[in-house]
Amino acid sequence: MHAEIHGHRGARGLRPENTLPGLAHTLELGVDALEFDVALTADRRLVLTHDLTVSAVTSADTRPAVPYDPLFPYVGRAVGELTLAQLRTLDCGVRLPRHPGDRFAATQVPVPGARMPTLGAVLGLVDAYGADGVRMHVELKSDPTRPELSADPHEFTELVVAELDRHRRLGGAAILSFDWRILDAARSLAPATPRYALVERATMDGAWFNGLRLEDFDGDLPAVAATAGGTALSPDHVLMDEELACRAEKAELPVVVWTVNEPGRAAEMLDLGVAGIVTDYPDRMRALWADRDMRLPAPVTCGPGTS
Given a cut of 50, whether residue 307 has pLDDT beyond it is no
127-142 pLDDT, tens digit each = 999 999 999 999 999 9
**CA terminus-to-terminus distance, the chain:** 36
Given a cut of 50, whether residue 305 has pLDDT beyond it is no
For the chain, what are the domain ranges? 4-55+115-291
CA distance 124 to 120: 6
267-284 pLDDT, tens digit each = 999 999 999 999 999 999
For residue 303, name the pLDDT band (cuts at 50, 70, 90): low
Task: Please name the fold of domain 4-55+115-291.
Answer: TIM Barrel (3.20.20)
Closest Cα partner for 249 from 282, 223, 227? 223
Q: Which of 17-26, 56-65, 90-99 has the lowest mean pLDDT?
A: 90-99
CA distance 257 to 178: 13
10-40 pLDDT, tens digit each = 999 999 999 999 999 999 999 999 999 999 9
Handedness of CA 103, 3, 139, 170 (dihedral sign): positive
Residue 52 DSSP one-character state: S
User: What is the model's pLDDT at position 99?
Assistant: 82
Mean pLDDT to the nearest integer, 189-213: 97
For the entire predicted model, the pTM comes to: 0.97
Mean pLDDT to the nearest integer, 47-52: 98
Given a cut of 70, whether residue 49 has pLDDT beyond it is yes
- Our CA dihedral for 161, 202, 199, 83, rounded to 10 degrees, sits at 20
Which residues does 237 contact at the CB level (< 8 Å), separation at least 6?
A: 257, 258, 259, 260, 265, 269
